[in-house]
Structure 1
């Protein structure tokens, strides 16, 4: 079956993957890489999966855990070949990359970790950063792991609200004096 789109073979897919990986804000998993790469109707999933595997084998990408990252070799070779990618494909990539990079940056700035305590219970540590560094760190004891996980999920959903509520609560005492 003939493919419609600008990407026609595995080499084109490799160029596209390297183009994407050079622009992604942090390492990504296979699912995210798949979503970003399937921006052109000419991309075949099976050739894409093979291309990613080959890029890891040749040292253009690394795979640590389940996260892919570009290497210096991948960056250099990708930059040399990116002019062969059609403008429309690059435009679609830019839109998709803006969306995922926003998510990746937010995830890097909002963190919550749960650790079990040897004496029982759990601790949840919640952190909020901005571009210049840490804004807020809150560490709480929880009676059990499930409670700590719930607090972590809530913080990750609305870290700004938690931050603002804590600041408001700390400044309220001045009004009540």
Structure 2
């Protein structure tokens, strides 16, 4: 069956995958890689899945803990072949990558974890970073996993608000005069 689009065979899919992986901000899972690769109507899912497996097998990419990353070999070979990808495909990829990279960068800068304490309680550790490093880390005592999960979810949803409100509370001179 004839397919529409610019990408038509497994080799072209491999070039596309390497192009994407060389530009993604951090390792990604299979569904994200699938979404980014399906930017051209000519990409067949089954050929894509085989191409990804072969790229891992040949050492062009790694798969660790469910996340794919490009290797130096993959980066070099992909760079040599990326000129064969049509401009329109690269343009679509770059637009999709901008969105995904924004999410990946934010997720790398906003982290939470729940740590057990010797007394059976828990600590919710919430961290906010920027390009220069850590901006704020808050550790709060939690009596159960539900409370720790709720704190973590709230922080993940609004880390900037938490940061700004902590700063406002610490820098508010009127409160310190009243005491």
> TM-score if structure 2 supplies the norm length?
0.97
Matches within 5 A, 1:32-71: 32-71=32-71
Query: 2:110 is matched with which residue?
Result: 110
Query: 2:97 is matched with which residue?
Result: 97
Aligned to 1:39, the other structure's residue is in SS state: coil
| Distance (Å, rounded) in 1 between the aligned partners of 2:29 and 2:118 | 33
TM superposition shift of 1:22 = 0.1
Aligned to 1:125, the other structure's residue is in SS state: strand
Which moved further from structure 2: 123-132 or 68-77? Answer: 123-132
| Distance (Å, rounded) in 1 between the aligned partners of 2:71 and 2:143 | 43
Q: What CA RMSD, in Å, does the superposition of the two structures yield over aligned residues?
A: 0.6
Query: 2:140 is matched with which residue?
Result: 140
Query: 2:128 is matched with which residue?
Result: 128
Which moved further from structure 2: 13-22 or 120-129? Answer: 120-129
Matches within 5 A, 1:145-164: 145-164=145-164
TM superposition shift of 1:25 = 0.1
Question: 4+ residue runs of structure 1 moved beyond 2 angstroms?
Answer: none
TM superposition shift of 1:118 = 2.6
| Count of residues in correspondence between the two structures | 176
| Distance (Å, rounded) in 2 between the aligned partners of 1:25 and 1:168 | 32
Query: 1:170 is matched with which residue?
Result: 170
Note if contact 1:116-1:145 (Cα within 8 Å) is conserved in structure 2: no
Which moved further from structure 2: 39-48 or 113-122? Answer: 113-122
